[in-house]
């Protein structure tokens, strides 16, 4: 998908972090934006910032763990813009907790946002993107943990959901190729976001908010040298234009991926 100017992008989890980075990158490309976030005030702030960059933008409150909210947001976006050409299933949360200590609410929250949030995005947007016949692109924000799931301890639920996000993207890519709709799995390394504070917006149905930031095992300062989200946005724009199956943000991760799959190949004996 080469031409972005005048096209419409819908982004979940766009009130901060990578979602905001993508929104601003798209705004600079002349796209129209639907900025979705569970925090409406955060979504409106990003939409206003995008308007300042010359883009037409709307803000919507959307909890992606709710099928009804995602469908309602899609209805409003199509009513406003008449089409969606780029869908970014970006909203995500994280939790560092041993499986033996995970509660039902923990599992439901993690999978409800990081996995089912993508499924609901597909259900709400993909049939209409196909029907409009104008091509397009879909980006699932996964993680390096979705490709190498055993990097950090106590991160099992997150790694599982992000591996699922990768699988959803690369298989849907096969299905939508004939529709001229590309699909990419975005697999970032450490990016300067607020994901370690994701519990601040944890809905009551999943146990309610937490004021404590997640602690990454073995990392005193996990955001040290983290990538700027706006750089991720620029990388995503390039990945869409090149119709990449995977969009990696950190080239230095190549060696770790090679090592991981080499270990896998060694088990074929």
The Cα–Cα gap between 124 and 135 comes to 16
SS3 8: strand
Q: Which of 120, 122, 158, 260 is catalytic?
A: 158
Coil, strand or helix: which one is 186? Answer: strand
Phi and psi of 177, rounded to 5°? -60, -40
Q: Could you say which DSSP state residue 214 is in?
A: P
Three-state DSSP at 31 gives: coil
246 among known catalytic residues = no
Cα separation, 31 vs 80, in Å, equals 14
Q: Identify whether the C-beta of residue 184 lies closer than 8 Å to the C-beta of residue 166.
A: no
Coil/strand/helix, residue 59: strand
Task: Show the tokens assigned to 91.
Answer: 């909203």
C-alpha distances (whole Å) from 54 to each of 13, 25, 29, 30 are: 21, 12, 10, 7
The sign of the CA dihedral 243, 260, 146, 235 is: negative
In whole angstroms, what is the distance from residue 191 CA to residue 103 CA? 28
Active site residues: 158
């Amino acid at each position: 998908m080469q031409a972005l100017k005048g096209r419409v992008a819908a982004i979940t989890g766009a009130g901060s972090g990578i979602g905001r980075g993508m929104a601003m990158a798209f705004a600079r490309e002349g796209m129209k934006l639907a900025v979705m976030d569970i925090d409406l005030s955060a979504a409106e702030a990003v939409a206003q910032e995008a308007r300042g960059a010359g883009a037409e933008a709307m803000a919507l409150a959307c909890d992606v763990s709710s099928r009804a909210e995602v469908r309602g947001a899609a209805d409003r976006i199509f009513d406003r813009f008449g089409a969606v050409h780029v869908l970014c299933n970006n909203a995500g949360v994280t939790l560092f907790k041993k499986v033996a200590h995970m509660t039902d609410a923990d599992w439901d929250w993690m999978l409800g946002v990081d996995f089912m949030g993508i499924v609901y995005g597909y259900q709400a947007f993909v049939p209409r993107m196909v029907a409009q016949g104008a091509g397009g692109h879909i980006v699932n924000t996964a993680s390096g943990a979705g490709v190498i799931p055993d990097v950090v301890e106590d991160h099992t639920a997150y790694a599982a959901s992000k591996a699922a996000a990768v699988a959803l993207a690369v298989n849907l890519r096969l299905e939508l190729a004939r529709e001229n709709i590309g699909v990419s799995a975005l697999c970032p390394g450490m990016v300067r976001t607020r994901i370690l504070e994701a519990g601040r917006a944890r809905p009551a149905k999943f146990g309610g908010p937490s004021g404590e930031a997640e602690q990454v095992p073995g990392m005193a300062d996990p955001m040290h040298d983290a990538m700027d989200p706006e750089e991720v946005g620029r990388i995503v724009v390039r990945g869409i234009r090149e119709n990449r199956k995977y969009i990696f943000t950190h080239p230095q991760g190549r060696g770790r991926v090679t090592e991981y799959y080499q270990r896998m190949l060694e088990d074929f004996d």
